[in-house]
Structure 1
Amino acid sequence: MGDLRAHSVTATGKAGERLLHFVLPGEVDDPAAPSGGNTYDRRLCRELPAAGWQVRPYTVPGSGPEPGPEARRELARCLAALPDGALVLLDGLVACGVPEITAPEAGRLRMAVLVHLPLADETGLAPATARELAARERRTLHAVGAVVATSRWAARRLVAQHGLAADRVHVAAPGVDPAPLAPGTDGATRPQLLCVAAVTPRKGQHRLVEALATVPELPWTCACVGGARGDSPYMTQLASKVKQLGLDDRVRFAGPRAGAELEAYYAAADLLVLTSYAETYGMVVTEALARGIPVLATAVGGVPEAVGSAPDGRVPGLLVPSDDPAALSGALRGWLGDPELRQRLKILARGRRATLEGWEMTAHNLAAALERLRHEPVRPKPVRHEPGTAG
């Protein structure tokens, strides 16, 4: 997408022009930090112009819900420089944790916040931290003119959690690009399982490893594609667990992959496995289904929406309760041990493939929300006159 930092804050465009100022996390273009949220943001910047919108992206330092002083200063400077009435979309990672910066500007700017994951839903937060993040997010979302969620489940969650008016929360689910069918192993060799997810506690790779340890007598290999942040204790724990369970010749952590390298992993896969504790949607689910790969996933958040159904109404995969390790192990055992089930789910995945929507629909849905916000009134800050001047 290019260096987003090269864009400076400028005035609004020509009269009648649909101009969107899009404020993004600093790592949105970092290949070492691939994520569904970053992919979503980049695709909006590419797709919205086709829907009639000019997009001016800006990045601010940091990527977490509790930004440091530099990130706070940059966000405040960015918003303050925008003219009254400007239409602004802020990624929730940038905006939700700093209501003291966003709320004062919300009256004079037409602001919307894109929530990829409610802040308090991150796994492993101390209860007090989760409560504080939820309170800060609530203040931000009540101040802005519109909220954008990435699934129907996420929209309902935000309305219930924060007491938002339902008509202010809009859904723009991620799209997916068409892709060739994945040949997989086609039964010729050991079935290949694929997990595509950042290596974090929320993605739950440890419980995938534990479930795989219950089926050592069955043929399988598993590739885990995704990056860990810095010197990750969780990655260290996972590697230790894999070795302890004697799975180091069958479970491989491949690190972050993109482009042709990621395509090669999808092409070799027979089943996508996602064992997250929380997901607002699960973009890797539709990426797998676009290649005709069935899915085994925990039924959390928006994942059932992403999995969807084939044209005959059947589910193109296996969904298990998040809090039931035995169900996960049983689903793995069932899929690995039943060739007929594998073939049936593969056919259903190919049926679901034909019904998936592309990114142009994401842009269309977001554009509709932005158009509505574009016509809402704003409250410009009063002009302060120096003593002795007319006014």
Structure 2
Amino acid sequence: MDVRFLVPANIHHNSGGNVYNAKLADAMRAQGVDVEILAVDGSWPDSTAKERRRLGSLVGAWEQKTAIEAATISIVDGLVACGVPDEIEYAAAAGQHVFVLLHMPSISHADGEQRALRAAAGVICTSSWAADAIKDRYGIVSSRVALPGTDAAPVAAGSDPPHIVAVAALLPNKDQLLTVAALAGLQDIAWTASLVGADDADPGYAALVRTAIASQGMEGRVRLTGQLAGQTLENEWNRADLSLLVSRAETFGLVVTESLAHGIPVIVREGTGAVEALGLASKGNGKPGSEATALPGTAVELPGPDTSHPAMLAAVIRRWLAEPGLRSSWRAAALAARDRLPQWDATARNVIEYLKRIR
């Protein structure tokens, strides 16, 4: 089986979608699948007619599939797919096997997304949250959920005073302004924090975050690191005692399982897919007969899309800082979770089985 994996070329920061795509491709290759990744130009989900025509050519929209091509499957990232419903419909009519890998359901291109998902040979969702969303929105009930895997990682040593990390690109959806506002109400307690993520994905929002930190006099306590990788990122994880992911919308939240792989508990926003990631390891990874264990962190109800409710987040962090017993129980649950996290080879087997069955 040969797979052509079409991903957006316009996402340059270290997003969860980019990580998932790369890790999945590597794990499929390790299991004998020939995977070609092609980054397709376009301001996806928006694009020019030329860019859409190129995408159409890549998925074989204009020609009937030949016997030689019969073993080739295309997987199109959902960010691209919702912008090219015509091309995916043409490819389906030509007998091509085009699958859509859906990370986050689209708000701005819902009509195009619905057409693309309905025309596709199959839909792979990276979380149950995403699968439920397209079922509710479009009535699509036959998608396959392929949860992200997790790379093994060393246990974080932690810091004194406690160190808090929020690993995500500086973007409005990730709501670092809420995090900064919450931390501003905790300056009577000892802690440090790092906001780890690309600061050039939305320079205007990054500037607002910097201004908010400075206006609260927290430059010495809250550090913006920019995007980190390799040992530099590992050093930041090693310092951490608590991880935050309070995105307004999140399909799964790879950073949650990455945190748990380091034995670091996590606070997430209630109502997002990050709740699934947090609860995954506390349920024995869904294995029959496994018993539920303590949650390695908590999900916080944070109403509203703005930053007008920092006190609710601050109250949870304050309790964690002030109660050694709570810190110990969350830490123990995070350490216990490390051995139950899903692996990328299982993700790849899941996807390969689905592709073979549907084809």
TM-score by length of 2: 0.89
Structure-to-structure mapping, 1:52-131, within 5 angstroms? 52-62=32-42, 64-80=44-60, 84=65, 85=70, 86-107=72-93, 108-120=95-107, 130=108
For 2:330 and 2:272, locate their aligned partners in 1 and report how far apart those are by CA, in whole Å.
Answer: 22
The residue number in structure 1 matching 2:157 is 183
Amino acid corresponding to residue 95 of structure 1 in structure 2:
A
Amino acid corresponding to residue 128 of structure 2 in structure 1:
R
Displacement after TM superposition at 1:300 (Å): 3.3
Displacement after TM superposition at 1:78 (Å): 1.6
Which of 320, 328, 340 matches 2:313?
Answer: 328
SS at match of 1:119: coil
* 2:30 is aligned with 1:50: yes
Displacement after TM superposition at 1:244 (Å): 1.2
Displacement after TM superposition at 1:70 (Å): 4.6
For 2:104 and 2:129, locate their aligned partners in 1 and report how far apart those are by CA, in whole Å.
Answer: 11
Q: Report the RMSD for the aligned CA atoms in angstroms.
A: 1.8
SS at match of 1:264: helix
Does structure 2 conserve the Cα–Cα contact (< 8 Å) formed by 1:51 and 1:367? no
Query: CA deviation digits over 1:339-361, x for unaligned, max 9?
Result: 12111110010011111011001
Amino acid corresponding to residue 241 of structure 2 in structure 1:
D
Amino acid corresponding to residue 196 of structure 1 in structure 2:
V
For 1:205 and 1:82, locate their aligned partners in 2 and report how far apart those are by CA, in whole Å.
Answer: 47
For 2:50 and 2:332, locate their aligned partners in 1 and report how far apart those are by CA, in whole Å.
Answer: 51
Bigger Cα Rg: 1
Which of 241, 244, 247 matches 2:212?
Answer: 241
SS at match of 1:296: strand
Does structure 1 conserve the Cα–Cα contact (< 8 Å) formed by 2:6 and 2:38? yes
Does structure 2 conserve the Cα–Cα contact (< 8 Å) formed by 1:49 and 1:55? yes
Displacement after TM superposition at 1:82 (Å): 7.4
Which of 221, 224, 230 matches 2:195?
Answer: 224
Same amino acid, percent of matched pairs: 37
Amino acid corresponding to residue 49 of structure 1 in structure 2:
R
The residue number in structure 2 matching 1:266 is 237
Does structure 2 conserve the Cα–Cα contact (< 8 Å) formed by 1:269 and 1:293? yes
Displacement after TM superposition at 1:76 (Å): 2.2
Query: CA deviation digits over 1:312-352, x for unaligned, max 9?
Result: 52211021013154331111110111112111110010011
Does structure 1 conserve the Cα–Cα contact (< 8 Å) formed by 2:256 and 2:266? yes
* 2:244 is aligned with 1:286: no
For 2:25 and 2:201, locate their aligned partners in 1 and report how far apart those are by CA, in whole Å.
Answer: 28
Displacement after TM superposition at 1:23 (Å): 1.0
The residue number in structure 2 matching 1:26 is 9
Residue 325 to residue 140, structure 1, CA distance change in 2 (3 Å): same
Amino acid corresponding to residue 90 of structure 2 in structure 1:
P
Structure 1: stretches of 5+ with no match in the other structure: 1-17, 121-129, 375-391
For 1:260 and 1:70, locate their aligned partners in 2 and report how far apart those are by CA, in whole Å.
Answer: 41
The residue number in structure 1 matching 2:132 is 156
Which of 7, 17, 21 matches 1:41?
Answer: 21
Amino acid corresponding to residue 353 of structure 1 in structure 2:
R
TM-score by length of 1: 0.82
For 2:296 and 2:113, locate their aligned partners in 1 and report how far apart those are by CA, in whole Å.
Answer: 35
Does structure 2 conserve the Cα–Cα contact (< 8 Å) formed by 1:177 and 1:359? yes
* 2:159 is aligned with 1:172: no
Does structure 2 conserve the Cα–Cα contact (< 8 Å) formed by 1:110 and 1:373? no
Which of 346, 349, 355 matches 1:364?
Answer: 349
